[in-house]
């Protein structure tokens, strides 16, 4: 294997030119709601219905979600930057100041999100410093129409 001709800061800076939608992946651990902000959500397959996301090995929330085996993906709306920022922190009770209800699988569905998907963990692939998580979608819905929250070049944005 050859060494890269760039460092991780340059890699992050260049990849930042690819806009990504922002989601919160949420579930329960020992009866308490937990969640984390995700900027790497993607569709995987229509049959069976599969989605995926990537999460760093340093996440303190992912092991809790992995253990439960199920989660709800919340697609954030353009006015939910504060929600994204909250779920990107190490705050122990991220759900204390936001509205949410239980999804059909019983996982947190965040008020104001554009759409949601109830999933069970289908497969996990460890690659580099991240896990690539594949989830089987069991139920889903559009909560309301609107624009998505976008992350682009190191900051939040919305579609023009």
138 in a structural domain: yes
Given this model, what pLDDT does residue 44 score? 98
Run of H or E including 157? strand 155-158
DSSP line for 114-154: SEEEEEEEEEEEEETTEEEEEEEEEEEEE----PBEEEETT
Token pair for 40: 């790497």
User: Cα torsion at 112, 159, 134, 73 (round to 10°)?
Assistant: 0
| φ and ψ at residue 13, rounded to 5 degrees | -65, -45
Q: Is 136 contained in some domain?
A: yes
Q: Check which CATH number belongs to the domain holding 68 and give it.
A: 2.30.110.10
Q: Is residue 57 part of a domain?
A: yes
DSSP state of 77: B
* Count of structural domains within the chain: 1
Largest CA distance in the chain: 49
Whole-angstrom distance, CA of residue 157 vs CA of residue 150: 5
The angle formed by the CA atoms of residues 95, 98 and 102, to the nearest 5 degrees, is 70
Distance CA 24, CA 36 (A): 5
Domain contains 37? yes
- Residue 2's pLDDT band (cuts 50, 70, 90): confident
pTM: 0.93
Q: What are the tens digits of pLDDT across the range 70-108?
A: 999 999 999 999 999 999 999 989 999 999 999 999 999
Domain annotation covers residue 158: no
Range of the domain at 120: 21-153
Report pLDDT digits (tens) over 47-62. 999 999 999 999 999 9
Rounded to the nearest integer, the mean pLDDT of the chain is 94
48 DSSP 8-state letter: T
Tokens matching residue 132: 């690539």
Q: Is 160 inside a domain boundary?
A: no
9 within some domain: no
**Structure token pair of residue 109:** 């569905």
């Amino acid at each position: 294997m050859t060494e890269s001709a760039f460092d991780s800061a340059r890699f992050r800076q260049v990849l930042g030119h690819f806009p990504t939608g922002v989601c919160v992946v949420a579930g329960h651990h020992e009866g308490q709601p937990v969640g984390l902000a995700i900027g790497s959500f993607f569709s995987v397959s229509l049959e069976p219905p599969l989605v995926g996301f990537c999460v760093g090995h340093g996440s303190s929330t992912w092991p809790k979600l992995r253990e439960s085996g199920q989660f709800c993906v919340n697609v954030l709306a353009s006015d939910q930057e504060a929600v994204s920022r909250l779920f990107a922190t190490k705050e122990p009770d991220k759900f204390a100041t936001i509205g949410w209800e239980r999804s059909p699988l019983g996982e947190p569905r965040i008020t104001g999100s554009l759409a949601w998907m109830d999933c069970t963990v289908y497969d996990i692939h460890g690659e580099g410093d991240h896990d690539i998580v594949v989830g089987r979608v069991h139920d889903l819905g559009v909560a309301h129409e609107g624009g998505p929250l976008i992350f682009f070049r190191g900051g939040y944005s919305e579609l023009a």
